Amino acid sequence: MRPYNFSKILIVLVIMASIGTAAADAIEPGQKNVPLSYQITNIQDFPDHVFILHGTPNPSLDILDSSEFSFYKLSICSVYAVPRTVFDSVKMDQMDETQIEEFLKNDTRVASSNLTLDGIFGTVNVADTLESALILLEIKSIKDNNLDIKKTKIIYYYSNGQKVEKPFQSENQIPLPTAPGPSWDFYLYFIALPIVALATILILALRRRSQ
């Protein structure tokens, strides 16, 4: 194959990949993305391990703590547990992406899990009050090279300040969001205030009659 033909093919492949990514990022009219984040609730119970988020196409290496974390919506990620002494000795911060992946996938000192994490919850109608979702994770155990980590519940956050929590019944099925009930300001403005106003009017009317 001539060099210039190879260059043309490479350019075409790059353009096709860019178009595919752009199409995947596109949102249908009238829809909006619902950001999704995660949080490991008991990570502080395992101080002897460093927990790493690794995904395709990214991130290559994110060190997790008790804070919420999120990643690119088209990525598929996994959590790994590395003994702190091993993490310090292998100097992962000096590895390139290939070395990091080989270490996490092949080193017997690394504990891995079958749990995969998605980067996005999905899309909803723009009129939907759902703003974001948070999945809580819990580490059950770390034994040899097996990390047992589970999804415990999902918290849905809405634009009116309300949140709805739902427990996971199955690892592979996210509990669907449900529309929350009226918020406190609804009761204040549309129920409490009218009742107070009506009571005030009745009291004034009774006072006038008694005069």
- State pLDDT tens for residues 53-85: 999 999 999 999 999 999 999 999 999 999 999
Q: Are residues 42 and 75 in the same domain?
A: yes
pLDDT digits (tens, 9 = 90+) for 177-209: 886 655 454 444 555 566 766 767 777 767 777
Are 138 and 200 in a shared domain?
A: no
User: What would the two tokens of residue 85 be?
Assistant: 């002494």
Domain span at 91:
30-180
Residue 13 lies in a domain: no
Mean pLDDT, rounded, of the chain: 84
State the pLDDT at residue 191: 59
Q: Indicate if the pLDDT at residue 24 is higher than 50.
A: no
Q: Is 105 found in the same domain as 145?
A: yes
Task: Write down the pLDDT at residue 190.
Answer: 53
The torsion angles phi and psi of 7, rounded to 5 degrees, stand at -60, -40
Rounded to whole angstroms, the Cα distance separating 210 from 51 reads: 76
pTM score:
0.74
Shared domain check, 163 and 125: yes
Based on the domain organization, do 34 and 105 belong to the same domain?
A: yes
204 and 163 in a common domain: no
Residue 14 in any domain: the answer is: no
Confidence of residue 50 (pLDDT cuts 50, 70, 90): very high
